A and B are shown apart, each in its own frame.
Chain A
Amino acid sequence: MAHETPTVIARKRDRLGSRYAQRIRRDGRLPAVIYGHRTDPIHVSLDEKETLGHLRHGSHVLNVQIEGGTAETCLVKDLQFGYLGDNLIHLDLARVDLDEEVSVGVHLHFIGTPEAARKPGAIVHHAITELPVICRVRDIPEEIRVDLSKMGETLFAREIALPEGVRLDIEADDVITRIELVLDAAEGEAAAVEGSGTQPEVITERKVDEADGDKKEKKG
């Protein structure tokens, strides 16, 4: 790994279900499950503050030390969010070996301003901010730095300098960043006015001629 693997202490959960998970969350802990490598899944809880801190720093791998049990090297596989879509309520951890190849999304850190973005009305649009890469667990970078100062109109995935042992998990021609020209507010309003006033086309509505034809057939 490009950085030290953080260690978190986990407590085993004996009682499962949403009500017990809610009680755990109320105590400042985060429910999680550890699975993989053809062994039974273990339901645990982690310290919420500590785990969130590691995740915010871009850690993908955690050393989970289970109280009164073994230590497991785990990859953060999935996050589950609750009400309003931004509060973390559950963590999926997959057992991994440090030499195993995995696919993860690595945060892209953009630096510099492209020359083309200095024009009036031009903005830098990042189509991808988490780059999917394939690498060994020990080689997962915390973040990938992307220098935009030398880019033209578009930056493709193949142009990103990846660390050693890391390869792309998306097409090389996929767009990462591009320069977009934003419409002036007045132009946008003009476009909106043009489109207003018309009624949508009803695709199931029968034409008058067709309806007449049907009536004639029935009579005949």
Chain B
Amino acid sequence: MLMPKRIKYRKQQRGKMRGNATRGNYVAFGEFGLQSLDTHWLSARQLEAGRIAAQHFLRRQGKVYIRVFPDKPISKKPLETRMGTGKADTDFWAARIKPGTMLFEIAGVPEDLARQALARIAHKMPVRCRFVGRRLAV
């Protein structure tokens, strides 16, 4: 599963996720993309589930790009432990998702196939998603 190779600090504060995505909100590498419409912490496990769903469906036909990276450590205290004694260990790694964030992109396949593959990914995602193509450019 995806996670950083090197980090500066082992644990992070939770932070806030306000507003919409202003970066990484358009199709950049592929021809079609899956865009998030909600805010969420997307875990590395969920990303991996999406990637597997698309690759099993496409069977070496197209290329799947993962546009987000789970670089935020999320800690969780073990069950039935008393409060206190400091912050718990990292439970999973997550990517911060805002409305507009492009989650996955697909290249090298026709639109109908891309739609089906991205729909399969969307079923694995914890957020509402929509299918998008490349935007206007000058």
- Chain B interface bracket (under 10, 10 to 19, 20 to 34, 35 or more): 35 or more
Counted as pairs of residues, one from A and one from B, with CB atoms less than 8 Å apart, the total is 92
Give min CB distance, B127 to chain A, whole Å: 13
Instruction: Tell me if A112 is interfacial: C-beta within 8 Å of chain B.
Output: no
- Chain A interface bracket (under 10, 10 to 19, 20 to 34, 35 or more): 35 or more
A84's partner among B8, B35, B52, B108 (CB-CB below 8 A) is B35
Residues of chain B within 8 A of A60, CB atoms compared? 138
Contact A185 B52 (CB under 8 A): yes
0/1 per residue, B95-131, Cβ < 8 Å to A? 0000110000001110000000000000000000000
Instruction: Tell me if B7 is interfacial: C-beta within 8 Å of chain A.
Output: yes
Contact B63 A125 (CB under 8 A): yes
0/1 per residue, B32-74, Cβ < 8 Å to A? 0001010000000000100110011001111100000000000
Say what secondary structure dominates the interface of chain B.
Answer: loop
B51's partner among A125, A188, A196 (CB-CB below 8 A) is A188
Cα–Cα distance between A203 and B10 once the two chains are bound (Å):
9
Which chain A residue lies CB-closest to B1? A196
Residues of chain A within 8 A of B62, CB atoms compared? 123, 182
Instruction: Tell me if A99 is interfacial: C-beta within 8 Å of chain B.
Output: no
Contact B55 A192 (CB under 8 A): no
Residues of chain B within 8 A of A77, CB atoms compared? 138
Instruction: Tell me if B18 is interfacial: C-beta within 8 Å of chain A.
Output: no
Contact B60 A104 (CB under 8 A): no
Which chain B residue lies CB-closest to A81? B135
Contact B63 A55 (CB under 8 A): no
Cα–Cα distance between A55 and B138 once the two chains are bound (Å):
8
Cα–Cα distance between A85 and B102 once the two chains are bound (Å):
10
Query: Assuming A192-B1, A201-B7, is B100 touching A123 (CB within 8 A)?
Result: no
Within 8 A of B (CB), among A174-192: 180, 182-185, 188-189, 192
Instruction: Tell me if B75 is interfacial: C-beta within 8 Å of chain A.
Output: no
Ordered by A's residue number, 14 sampled pairs between the chains whose C-beta atoms are within 8 Å are A52-B136, A56-B136, A84-B99, A86-B132, A104-B138, A121-B60, A123-B109, A129-B134, A185-B52, A185-B60, A192-B48, A200-B4, A203-B6, A204-B8
Beyond contacts A83-B99, A86-B26, A185-B52: 13 other A-B pairs, Cβ-Cβ < 8 A, are A77-B138, A78-B138, A85-B135, A88-B136, A104-B138, A123-B61, A123-B108, A123-B109, A125-B108, A126-B107, A183-B60, A195-B1, A196-B1
Query: A residues within 8 Å of B by Cβ?
Result: 52, 55-56, 60, 76-79, 81, 83-86, 88, 104-105, 107, 120-121, 123-126, 129-130, 180, 182-185, 188-189, 192, 195-196, 199-205
